[in-house]
A = this chain, B = another copy of it.
């Protein structure tokens, strides 16, 4: 019923899974290079992975816990603890225990984290625009649609 691939003709090196992995790696690497090249941000030593977490903290009004971030980003809880350790050590994020539910720890971007945000966002946009060069708006919309459907199929 409408399978895309067949074992007998499948070419791993040209599969969508392979291509997607490659694109993702290249995009992250490009963002890392941009971050490292920026005089101000390179001093902070922010990586692409850290940036993605930071965006979620700065870009929304309401307070968030580590678990909230894990759900949004389908991230492992243990990995998140360590990620926040690194961000806290760099002074970009603060931990604040919730007094009403002492299991919870709210996360907040510091002033430094907030200050670095606009420049980071610029870079993210620039990198993605570069990768999407040559595509029309409707192509980008289609690509986004395909990805959304795949994510939905993941269950």
Contacts and interface: CB of A to CB of B under 8 A. Distances in A.
B124 A12 contact: yes
A102 interface: no
Interface string A11-22: 011111111111
A71 to B, nearest CB: 12
A92 B134 CA distance: 43
Q: Would you call the interface of chain A mostly helix, strand, loop, or mixed?
A: helix
A151 interface: yes
A132 interface: yes
Given A16-B128, A23-B20, A129-B5, A134 B153 contact: yes
Interface in A26-84: 26-28, 30, 52, 55-56, 59, 72, 74
A58 to B, nearest CB: 10
A54 B122 CA distance: 39
Contact of A16 (B2, B13, B19, B143): B143
A125 interface: yes
Interface residues of A, number: 60
Interface of A: 2-7, 10, 12-28, 30, 52, 55-56, 59, 72, 74, 118, 121-122, 124-125, 127-137, 139-140, 142-144, 146-151, 153-154
